[in-house]
Amino acid sequence: MAGLLATWRRVIRVDLESDMSVETIMSVQPASAQTDNPNMVAIARRQQLQDAVFHRVTQAFSLVVLLALLGIIVSLFINALPTFQKFGFEFIWRVEWDIINEEFGAAIAIFGTLASAAIALLIAVPLAFGIALFLTENCPVALRRPLGTAIELLAAVPSIIYGMFGLFIFAPLFAEYGQPAIQSTLGQMPLIGPFFGGAMNGIGILAAGIVLAFMVLPFIAAVMRDVFEIVPPILRESAYGLGCTTWEVVRKVVLPYTQKGVVGGVMLGLGRALGETMAVTFVIGNANRLPSTLFSPGTSIASTLANEFGEAADFHLSTLFALGFLLFVITFVVLAIAKVMLLRSEKAKGA
């Protein structure tokens, strides 16, 4: 019996460590075990079949996602093809948007999308980092769970609620108090001052960016908090034992260990900011002209689609599909750049 048990353990070890066939597994057994235990052959075959089925099922799940993504790309490109055939690459930097004469350009919408998303990240990333750092390093234990739950609940608020808040509450307050204060301070600085001029009515590119910052903040903060918590306690304790301050522990231990997760959280927030529709539509102003300042109204790709898709037809509809395709390309390029930066950083560490 002891010999059979040892043989069975040997079979299981070989099965887990390599992708051998049943014949190979049986070849490592003594001849007596092969003849005296025919059930082992059936068990090994059944395990091999289960592994094969599990592998194929998970592979099918991955292929479904890939096929769906390819289907979206192909459908967008096919419907946008008339626009690209007429304007070519010039469609990207054209500023015209004349529905009557069918003269279209994507420059205004692209600028509004990138500007509002950049403003959102400039505001949300430092705040999210501070929140995650406080929850994992300095927050009292009794407050960690309530505060963490509150942040996660903010991520569940529908975007239209943020839009209504931005239009009816934030915009009037921003026009009365926020924009005058910004214009009297940042607006007086030599290089960036011209960006903070114009009418102060509470809506525009800057207002859209601030509302987007409120939206993406919970996502980035929640991801950062989770990745900060997975740092092994022994690393923190070792750094503190060497006399490091909290900031030194975060900068030299926590951030290098969680770099991928932090960048992933930021990219998650950026993706949400680039594709956000309703909240931006409420506060960006929806003006099809290139904004001269951050206080000026503008438009984004998502808000343009939301405002015009229901009434579009023929070539106008093809142009909206072209905007959707460009939004996909922009998101893909941004994520690809982030991935390349991570790979270069890892290679530099290895060097």
Type of residue found at 125: V
105-350 topology per CATH: MetI-like fold (1.10.3720)
Given a cut of 60, whether residue 262 has pLDDT beyond it is yes
Tens of pLDDT, residues 161-194: 998 999 999 999 999 998 889 988 888 888 888 8
Reported as a single tens digit per residue, the pLDDT across 120-173 is 999 999 999 999 888 888 888 888 888 888 888 888 888 889 989 999 999 999
**Radius of gyration from C-alpha coordinates of the chain:** 28
Lowest mean pLDDT among 5-9, 114-118, 279-283: 5-9
Quickly count helices (H) and strands (E) in the chain. Answer: 18, 2
Q: Are 261 and 342 in contact (CB under 8 A)?
A: no
Beta strands in 52-181 (DSSP E): 97-98, 103-104
Q: What is the mean pLDDT of residues 271-295?
A: 87
The residue whose two tokens read 């009434």 is 311
Going by the DSSP 8-state scheme, the letter that residue 295 receives in this structure is T
SS3 (DSSP) at 298: strand
Looking at residue 36, what is its pLDDT? Answer: 53
At a CB cut-off of 8 Å and minimum separation 6, what does 193 contact?
186, 187
**Average pLDDT for 336-348:** 76
CA distance 237 to 336: 36
Give domain limits for the chain: 2-87, 105-350
Residue from 4, 74, 89, 76 nearest 38 by CA: 4
Residues 303 and 320: beta-carbon distance below 8 Å: no
